[in-house]
Amino acid sequence: MQLALIKLRPLVAVALSLVIAGCGYQLRGTGGLPDAFSHVFVQARSTQMRHAMEQLLEANGATLVPRSDAQVSILVTREDLKERLLSVDPNTGRAREFEIAYIANFSVRDNAGKAVVENERMQIVRDYVFDVDAVIGKSRERGVLYAEMRRDVALQIFNRIRAVYPRG
DSSP string, 63-122: EE--GGG-SEEEEEEEEEEEEEEEEE-TTT--EEEEEEEEEEEEEEEETTS-EEEEEEEE
Q: What is the largest CA-CA distance in the chain?
A: 76
Is 26 a member of any domain? Answer: no
Q: How far is CA 120 from the centre of its chain?
A: 14
d(CA 7, CA 91): 72
Asked whether residue 11 is assigned to any structural domain, the reply reads no
Q: Is residue 1 part of a domain?
A: no
Percent of the chain residues topping a pLDDT of 90: 35
Domain total in the chain: 1
Report CA-CA distances (Å) from 166 to 28, 37, 87.
Answer: 19, 11, 46
Can you tell me the distance from the alpha carbon of 56 to that of 37, in angstroms, rounded to the nearest whole number? 12
Tell me how many helices (H) and strands (E) the chain has.
3, 5
139 in a structural domain: yes
- Whether the per-residue pLDDT at 4 is higher than 70: the answer is no
6: in domain = no
Would you say residue 12 lies in a domain?
Answer: no
In CATH, what number is assigned to the domain containing residue 113? 3.30.160.150
The helix (H) or strand (E) run that includes residue 43 is strand 39-44
- Asked if residue 163 has pLDDT above 60, the reply is yes
Q: Answer whether residue 53 is part of any domain.
A: yes
21 in any annotated domain? no
pLDDT digits (tens, 9 = 90+) for 86-115: 888 888 877 778 888 999 999 999 888 888
Residue 79 pLDDT exceeds 60: yes
The residue range of the domain holding 103 is: 31-164
Predicted pLDDT at 77: 93
pLDDT one-digit tens code per residue, 38-69: 899 999 999 999 999 999 999 988 899 999 99
Q: Which residue has the higher pLDDT, 141 or 24?
A: 141
Q: What is the pLDDT, as a whole number, of residue 111?
A: 85
**Residues 153, 125 contacting (CB under 8 angstroms):** no
